[in-house]
Structure 1
């Protein structure tokens, strides 16, 4: 069952989402060669608590960490470790926060030092597909419209679209209806309803779409060992249009990147502090 949110609840969800956004922005300055993902995890937990929220992942489904950090061929659900990041790595950082009884949940894939051009292109296309999918989250459309748009864009670039892992509804629970696959057929699936909030999150592989789980019971990796990318936003359906509640603004500010990619998804001007 899809649980719609009131305007007031969507504003509370925006608060939760922006805490995650700020956490990712803080981490953007720390992701570098020699740093371990366990160090990043400790920084994130303290930052979230200092901002009046609780880590959204820690303890959820027995998750042992605040962050899920997926390096190179890891697709998602990578557990933080003491292995230092190396020049040329990419690391997808997925983060959640719980505040005012609502969750925020989104992700960004970071580059470490000198990343191969073909890997940079994978990250670029994956992030572009996120916004292509968000555009389809509108009145009159269905789940399959978002999935189809993401799938077509990524497969047209020769990439593998993961099937077993999907986006989801978001609210008082981390995972609500509907599931939001990154593949599908136009006009199929549940119809979008005013006030619903979803996490749209393309998980795209450079090679095969096939995956496997490591023995830690969490980390999902590509079967061919090629890199994967993961980007995620929280999006509400407001006045029939998608409104992005999370932002990469803080990441871009930290990395010195200028972008207007989110502007079309803002119903009102957001003042970033």
Structure 2
């Protein structure tokens, strides 16, 4: 988080996104979880962890979805690796740990690289699976109306495979969070480093707090991505969704929190 962005704005945004995607209870949980992390002194570590996870997931999705689309049209890929396989990249990630350490050194770059290698398989596999499971009737209807291959892909196959692709993105996010502890071994700051420091100092309380912070971040990301996957064109008609006026009021409250957050930084509260 940039130093000019107050912590209260981040909390308000988390609440607003939760309410907008999943209703008031999800928004309440997002607010309570972020406040718990902040008041226990793990705000900076959590933001560092979120930055590494966010960059890793963006790279993994940006690479994995095109590979999954290519794999769906490749019979050779289908023969070499079934779309329903359950292979994970854990052993591969551990095997490249030392070579990556030599290439990138002890830095956040290596942490992002290892996280991408570890979390990219689910989005590839489920994108491939979702496109392959598109009903043949939908494909024949598109071709009968003269749709080209690209038109069929973007207007028929990808929309029908959205749930599978979003499930792959959800699993990718969870696997990226799971790498928080491992990347701390190569010098990445964040909640994983706090866990290792608590183990070294034999501080069970600190280890429990940092572990709970990681779990809360994982739950927030999981629920938000799940709610985003279930949102559709008619999501605005959902009774639990707030109105436009409610969003304007939330934005107003976020701006009103700017002044107290500037006068009373989070570090002074913990």
Same fold (TM over 0.5): no
Q: Which has the higher strand share?
A: 1
Q: Which has the higher helix share?
A: 2
Greater length-normalized contact order (CA 8 Å, ≥ 6 residues apart): 2
Q: Which has the larger radius of gyration?
A: 2
